[in-house]
């Protein structure tokens, strides 16, 4: 929590049994951890949950009034059926077997909380033996609570706790500890907590104070939880915004080598010998990057460009500008296949332009001798450009004089990783940084997670490109499946190449099986290649190089080819079982074709049935090739955790309530306030952020 934390030990505040249960269920030992365990939702008197719409077997907590009691005497079994109405008009039946005492408390007109598993019988929602707590009615004094609700007794009077609450918090619970016990613990912690002074030096206008917010989020008053929620989200957003504003301010203080464009250098030579004119977008981008590089302040730029928009050549030209100034460049890529491909094509492009710049690849699976030689050449300055996977980040990699870092396909790397690579500059110099991604980033994420980067966008595809045709190939239509294979053969007869992408290596429908099937049965007269993540580095390289040279007609591959792979002669792709891939992934895969001047085709095979959500998802991808549109669709379907990526874990952990995709207004406001605060009192901003980092660290250590 930004600027404040209740550091009391749980064991000091709660009954020993309860403190222990919280520790074993969630690992919590301090009060702030329980206070940050926010309600998942609220059961509200007068509103209730729509029980008819609840999934079979869900555990639900709701408040209702007993309308009618039905007694069925089956001799051996006495059944009580309580017909309960919540005030929204929803109804359900609570059934108890052989439990006469219940009827004495849950009399007609009694108002109670019910908590239990919901089942449906003939359209009627039912709960069998739900736990209950009588709020008003004659039973209040006799037998006020049962089951998990009884646990609240630990905390004294149930009625003080629950009696006139309108919003009952429902907490993320576990088998070890129920929502009620968490509620009791929170209540006790708040009861014994003195008023919290405002942790920021101002009170955000129109929001509750922090003290109010933390109390009301757990026990909303009649105005409901929106106010406290907004305030706590604001604090979370401010934490992220301060971190980013500080990074920006920090960046301004670092010095980078000035790398101006040199007229008679490698940069110009390549520019003049390119086989194609740069698109307007590429020129603009290059202009910006080139300008940034010439300054003594480190560039921090994010280039987001549609798949196939030609980012690599822009990066290469920029790198040569740095090389012209005698500096080294590092390009970080997410896969070994991509590292090898970039190294190969950079070398080829440079050779074609008669350039003397040297390129080397560095990956984790390189043979030791080759790696040692590469490392030596890097540290001695023999190599100008290093393309590598995360192996590049390791401590053993030292540069002679690193001036410029390019990160390709940013979504696979986090802040920490790009910082690590950036720390390898010479002396006090911070290398310039260009981050590239083909996954468009929504503005809220851009502000929070990439808030320290200037953003440029490249939407245009190079001229002469024909749009990629997409088609669905449902497994249920054998004629279409057959047609898909014959389309592939036609392309190959016309001199083109094909990808067949499978979702797995082994087993039915895996690349091994598919490769055998195609080579032995469907295409015995063609050359069918195989590529997957379990091959050794050199094997992968050899296959990719062969495919790239045209030696392989059909490449059967897993998603190792998902990002960045560039073989312009490949014009058709068949994705098997597309429903198993996400939207962005399908779009990225499709981007492997349509990279030359030929008509291209992407066939999305699917086992999903028409009408299912997975079928719809695949159809949506087939219907448009606008990456920005698809990115929004994709984000709408994913959790922020995914959006942030695992490497952003520190961030994810400090954000519990904020929805990074939807809470734009509060994120924007926090960003404005953070910029002001960093400008006015940087030390204070640093202290605030250090607090949350400390918290994230403690949390990490405990887990
Ligand atoms: P991405 O932006 O997806 O990384 P690449 O940089 O791999 O795209 O470029 C895709 C293909 O387009 C490559 O084969 C590249 O040589 C080619 N290309 C790049 N710029 C142009 C251009 N201005 N005109 C024609 N082809 C281009
Ligand atoms: Mg690329």
Supply the DSSP string of 295-336, one letter for each residue: SSSPPEEEEEE-TTS-HHHHHHHHHHHHHHTT-EEEEE-S-H
Q: Which two tokens stand for residue 595?
A: 């990279």
Read off the pLDDT of each residue in 143-164 and give the average, rounded to a whole number. 66
Q: Which tens digit of pLDDT belongs to each residue from 486-533?
A: 999 999 999 999 999 999 999 999 999 999 999 999 999 999 999 998
Q: What is the largest CA-CA distance in the chain?
A: 102
For residue 556, pLDDT over 90 is answered with yes
Probe residue for ligand 1, chosen from 308, 318, 408, 412 as the CB with the greatest number of ligand atoms within 8 Å: 308
* Top CATH class, 10-220: mainly beta
For residue 596, give the ligand 1 atom closest to its CA: 14
Read off the pLDDT of each residue in 198-224 and give the average, rounded to a whole number. 91
Rg (CA), the chain: 31
C-alpha 336 – ligand 2 centre gap (Å):
14
Quote the pLDDT of residue 457: 86
Q: Which tens digit of pLDDT belongs to each residue from 404-439?
A: 999 987 666 667 777 888 888 888 899 999 999 887
Where is mean pLDDT largest: 37-46, 344-353, 486-495, 682-691?
A: 486-495
- With tokens 């708040």, the residue in question is 190
Read off the pLDDT of each residue in 391-402 and give the average, rounded to a whole number. 90
Read off the pLDDT of each residue in 257-263 and give the average, rounded to a whole number. 94
For residue 138, pLDDT over 70 is answered with no
Point out the least confidently predicted range of 124-138, 272-286, 461-475. 124-138
Strand partners, 133: 113, 145
Residue pair 465/312 in contact by the 8 Å Cβ criterion = no
Quote the pLDDT of residue 164: 66
278 lines ligand 1 (CB under 6 A): yes
Q: Which ligand is nearest to the CA of 308?
A: 1
For residue 320, pLDDT over 80 is answered with yes
The CATH number that domain 468-624 falls under is 3.40.50.300
Instruction: Tell whether pTM > 0.85.
Output: no
Planar angle of CA 358, 361, 363, nearest 5 degrees = 160
> Where would I find the H helices in 151-218?
158, 179-191, 210-218
Residue pair 346/316 in contact by the 8 Å Cβ criterion = yes
Mean pLDDT of all residues belonging to the chain: 86
Planar angle of CA 699, 700, 703, nearest 5 degrees = 90
Which pLDDT band, with edges at 50, 70 and 90, does 652 fall under?
very low
If one compares 50 and 525, the residue with the highest pLDDT of the two is: 525
Please name the residue whose Cα sits nearest to atom 23 of ligand 1. 278
309 lines ligand 1 (CB under 6 A): yes
The dihedral sign for the CA sequence 244, 640, 334, 364: positive
If one compares 395 and 687, the residue with the highest pLDDT of the two is: 687
Quote the pLDDT of residue 418: 78
For residue 309, give the ligand 1 atom closest to its CA: 2
C-alpha 338 – ligand 1 centre gap (Å):
15
Please name the residue whose Cα sits nearest to atom 9 of ligand 1. 310
Question: Which residues are CB-contacts of 637 (< 8 A; sequence separation ≥ 6)?
Answer: 582, 583, 617
- With tokens 């290398």, the residue in question is 431
Question: Which residues are CB-contacts of 238 (< 8 A; sequence separation ≥ 6)?
Answer: 2, 200, 670, 673, 674
Q: Which candidate, 331, 349, 363, 342, places its Cα nearest to that of 538?
A: 363
Question: Which residues are CB-contacts of 382 (< 8 A; sequence separation ≥ 6)?
Answer: 358, 376
C-alpha 317 – ligand 1 centre gap (Å):
13
Q: Which candidate, 243, 153, 184, places its Cα nearest to that of 37?
A: 184
Q: Residue 34: phi, psi to the nearest 5?
A: -75, -40
Quote the pLDDT of residue 546: 94
Quote the pLDDT of residue 648: 40
For residue 158, pLDDT over 80 is answered with no
Quote the pLDDT of residue 426: 85
Quote the pLDDT of residue 479: 95
Q: Which tens digit of pLDDT belongs to each residue from 161-203?
A: 666 677 888 898 887 888 888 998 999 999 999 999 998 878 8
Q: What whole-number percentage of the chain has pLDDT above 70?
A: 89
Fold annotation for 266-458: Rossmann fold (3.40.50)
Read off the pLDDT of each residue in 277-281 and give the average, rounded to a whole number. 93
Q: Which candidate, 489, 503, 481, places its Cα nearest to that of 562?
A: 503
Probe residue for ligand 1, chosen from 313, 406, 463 as the CB with the greatest number of ligand atoms within 8 Å: 313
Quote the pLDDT of residue 583: 86
Q: Which candidate, 515, 502, 585, 588, places its Cα nearest to that of 554?
A: 515
If one compares 566 and 157, the residue with the highest pLDDT of the two is: 566
CA-to-CA distance for 174 and 18, rounded, in angstroms?
Answer: 14
Residue 347 CA from chain centroid, whole number: 34
Residue pair 663/240 in contact by the 8 Å Cβ criterion = no
Quote the pLDDT of residue 305: 86
Ion ligand 2 residue ranges (Cβ < 5 Å): 564
If one compares 209 and 60, the residue with the highest pLDDT of the two is: 209
CA-to-CA distance for 298 and 404, rounded, in angstroms?
Answer: 9
Q: Which tens digit of pLDDT belongs to each residue from 245-257?
A: 998 888 888 999 9
Quote the pLDDT of residue 395: 80
CA-to-CA distance for 289 and 303, rounded, in angstroms?
Answer: 10
Quote the pLDDT of residue 645: 40
Residue spans of the domains in the chain: they are: 10-220, 230-253+665-702, 266-458, 468-624
If one compares 594 and 141, the residue with the highest pLDDT of the two is: 594
C-alpha 241 – ligand 2 centre gap (Å):
29
Which pLDDT band, with edges at 50, 70 and 90, does 41 fall under?
confident
Quote the pLDDT of residue 44: 66
307 lines ligand 1 (CB under 6 A): yes
462 lines ligand 1 (CB under 6 A): yes
Quote the pLDDT of residue 327: 95
Q: Which ligand is nearest to the CA of 595?
A: 1
CA-to-CA distance for 210 and 572, rounded, in angstroms?
Answer: 58
Q: Which tens digit of pLDDT belongs to each residue from 65-96?
A: 899 999 998 888 889 999 998 766 778 899 99
- Give the strands of the sheet with 497-501, arranged side by side: 468-474, 600-606, 570-575, 497-501, 554-557, 528-531
For residue 305, give the ligand 1 atom closest to its CA: 2
Quote the pLDDT of residue 484: 96
595 lines ligand 1 (CB under 6 A): yes
For residue 591, give the ligand 1 atom closest to its CA: 3
The one-character DSSP state at 279 is: P
Q: Which two tokens stand for residue 518?
A: 């195609």
Q: Is 92 helix (H, G, I), strand (E, B) or coil?
A: strand
- With tokens 């710049």, the residue in question is 357
> For residue 677, what are the CA distances in angstroms to 201, 207, 391, 667?
10, 18, 38, 15
Quote the pLDDT of residue 200: 87
Fold match, 10-220 / 468-624: no
350 lines ligand 1 (CB under 6 A): no
Quote the pLDDT of residue 453: 85
Quote the pLDDT of residue 703: 40
């Amino acid at each position: 929590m930004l600027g404040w934390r209740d550091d009391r030990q749980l064991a000091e505040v709660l009954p020993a049994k309860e403190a222990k249960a919280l520790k074993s269920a969630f690992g919590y030992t301090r009060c702030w951890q329980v206070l940050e365990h926010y309600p998942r939702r609220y059961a509200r008197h007068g509103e209730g949950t729509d029980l008819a719409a609840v999934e079979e077997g869900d555990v639900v907590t709701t408040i209702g009034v007993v309308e009618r009691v039905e007694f069925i005497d089956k001799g051996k079994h006495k059944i009580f059926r309580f017909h309960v109405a919540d005030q929204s008009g929803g109804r359900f039946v609570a059934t108890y077997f052989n439990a006469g005492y219940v009827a004495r408390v849950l009399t007609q007109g009694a108002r109670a909380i019910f908590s239990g598993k919901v089942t449906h019988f003939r359209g009627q929602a039912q709960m069998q033996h739900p736990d209950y707590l009588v709020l008003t009615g004659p039973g209040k004094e006799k037998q006020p609570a049962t089951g998990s609700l009884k646990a609240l007794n630990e905390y004294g009077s149930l009625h003080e706790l629950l009696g006139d609450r309108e919003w009952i918090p429902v907490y993320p619970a576990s088998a070890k500890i129920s929502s009620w016990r968490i509620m009791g613990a929170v209540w006790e912690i708040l009861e014994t907590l003195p008023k919290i002074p405002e942790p920021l030096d101002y009170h955000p206008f129109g929001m509750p104070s922090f003290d109010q917010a933390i109390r009301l989020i757990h026990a909303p008053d009649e105005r409901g939880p929106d106010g406290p929620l907004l305030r706590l989200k604001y604090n979370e957003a401010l934490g992220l915004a301060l971190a980013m504003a500080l990074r920006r301010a920090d960046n301004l203080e670092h010095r980078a080598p000035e790398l101006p464009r040199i007229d008679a250098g490698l940069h110009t030579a390549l520019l003049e010998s390119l086989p194609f004119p740069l698109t307007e977008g590429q020129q603009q981008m290059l202009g910006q990057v080139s300008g940034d590089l010439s300054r003594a302040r480190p560039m921090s730029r994010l280039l987001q460009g549609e798949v196939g928009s030609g980012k690599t050549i822009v990066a290469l030209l920029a790198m040569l500008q740095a090389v012209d100034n005698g500096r080294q460049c590092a390009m970080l890529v997410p896969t070994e296949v991509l590292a090898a491909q970039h190294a190969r094509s950079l070398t080829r492009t440079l050779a074609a332009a008669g350039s003397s710049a040297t390129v080397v690849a560095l990956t984790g699976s390189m043979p030791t001798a080759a790696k040692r030689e590469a490392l030596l050449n890097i540290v001695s300055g023999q190599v100008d450009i290093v393309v590598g996977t995360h192996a590049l980040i390791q401590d053993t990699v030292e540069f002679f004089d690193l001036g410029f870092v390019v990160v390709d396909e940013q979504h696979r790397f986090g802040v920490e990783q790009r910082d690590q690579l950036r720390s390898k500059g010479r002396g006090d110099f911070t290398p310039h940084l260009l981050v590239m991604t083909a996954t468009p980033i929504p503005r809220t994420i851009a502000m929070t997670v990439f808030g320290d980067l200037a953003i440029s966008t490249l939407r245009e595809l190079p001229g002469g490109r024909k749009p990629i045709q997409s088609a669905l190939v449902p497994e249920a239509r054998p004629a279409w499946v057959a047609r898909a294979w014959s389309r592939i053969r036609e392309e190959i007869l016309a001199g083109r190449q094909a990808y067949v992408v499978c979702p797995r290596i082994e087993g039915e429908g895996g690349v091994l099986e598919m490769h055998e099937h195609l080579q032995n049965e469907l295409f015995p007269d063609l050359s069918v290649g195989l590529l997957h993540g379990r091959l050794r580095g050199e094997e992968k390289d050899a296959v990719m190089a062969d495919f790239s040279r045209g030696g392989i007609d059909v490449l059967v591959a897993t998603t190792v080819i998902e990002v960045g792979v560039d073989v312009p002669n490949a014009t058709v792709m068949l994705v098997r079982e597309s429903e198993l891939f996400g939207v962005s992934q399908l779009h990225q895969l499709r981007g492997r074709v349509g990279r030359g001047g030929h008509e291209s085709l992407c066939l999305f095979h699917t086992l999903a049935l028409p009408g299912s959500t997975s079928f719809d998802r695949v159809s949506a991808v087939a219907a448009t090739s606008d990456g920005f549109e698809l990115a929004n669709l994709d984000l709408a379907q994913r959790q922020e955790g995914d959006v942030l990526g695992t490497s952003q874990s520190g961030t994810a952990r400090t954000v519990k309530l904020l929805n990074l995709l939807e809470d734009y207004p509060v994120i924007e406001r926090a960003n404005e306030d953070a910029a002001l605060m960093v400008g006015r009192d940087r030390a204070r901003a640093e202290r605030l952020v250090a607090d949350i980092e400390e918290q994230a660290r403690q949390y990490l250590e405990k887990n």
